């Protein structure tokens, strides 16, 4: 059996997969900013991407594959439960083949949660 590696994102916006640069308190401002701005969200071009919905609700999960969840380094001290959608968090919390990695997205967005 061939093992594959995937990058997993929770949300797809008009610019592609939205990087994990947010926690639950900032998600609405990130979504609003994504809808109003055009830019390239094509991170990790060498590794196939998956939407968390496909894993949780469409049975595309495989025990033999490796799944990476790339969080912005600014979220290093934020609980993963406050970043992932509830369905995805409940799905991954007992899996052995999901790994959190911290990256620097250099993502430009308004940092105030009410914008």
Mean pLDDT estimate for the chain: 88
Per-residue confidence (pLDDT) for residue 115, from 0 to 100: 40
Calpha distance 84→88 (Å, rounded): 6
Look at residue 16 and tell me whether its pLDDT is greater than 90.
no
Share of the chain above pLDDT 70, in %: 91
What is the DSSP pairing of strand 49-51 with strand 5-9? parallel
Six-digit token pair at 101?
Answer: 């990695």
* Rounded Cα gap, residues 71 and 114, in angstroms: 22
19-60 pLDDT tens trace = 998 898 888 888 888 888 777 777 888 999 999 999 999 999
pLDDT value for 112: 47
d(CA 45, CA 18): 14
Euclidean distance between CA atoms 12 and 109, whole angstroms: 16
How large is the average pLDDT for residues 75-88?
Answer: 95
Region 64-87 average pLDDT = 95
Sequence-separated (6 or more) residues with CB below 8 Å from residue 115: 29, 32, 33
Percent with pLDDT over 90 in the chain: 57
Q: What is the pTM of this model?
A: 0.86
pLDDT given at position 108: 66
Cα separation of 88 and 85, whole Å? 5
Helix, strand or coil for residue 8? strand
Contact of 34 with 110, CB cutoff 8 Å: no
Q: Does pLDDT of 113 surpass 50?
A: no
Q: Is the pLDDT of residue 86 over 80?
A: yes
């Amino acid at each position: 059996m061939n093992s594959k590696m995937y990058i997993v994102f929770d949300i797809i916006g008009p610019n592609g997969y939205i990087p994990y640069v947010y926690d639950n308190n900032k998600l609405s401002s990130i979504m609003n900013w994504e809808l109003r701005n055009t830019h390239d969200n094509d991170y990790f071009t060498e590794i196939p991407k998956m939407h968390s919905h496909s894993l949780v609700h469409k049975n595309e999960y495989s025990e033999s594959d490796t799944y990476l969840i790339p969080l912005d380094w600014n979220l290093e001290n934020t609980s993963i439960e406050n970043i992932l959608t509830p369905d995805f968090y409940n799905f991954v919390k007992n899996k052995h083949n999901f790994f959190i990695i911290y990256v620097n997205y250099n993502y430009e967005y308004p940092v105030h949660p009410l914008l």
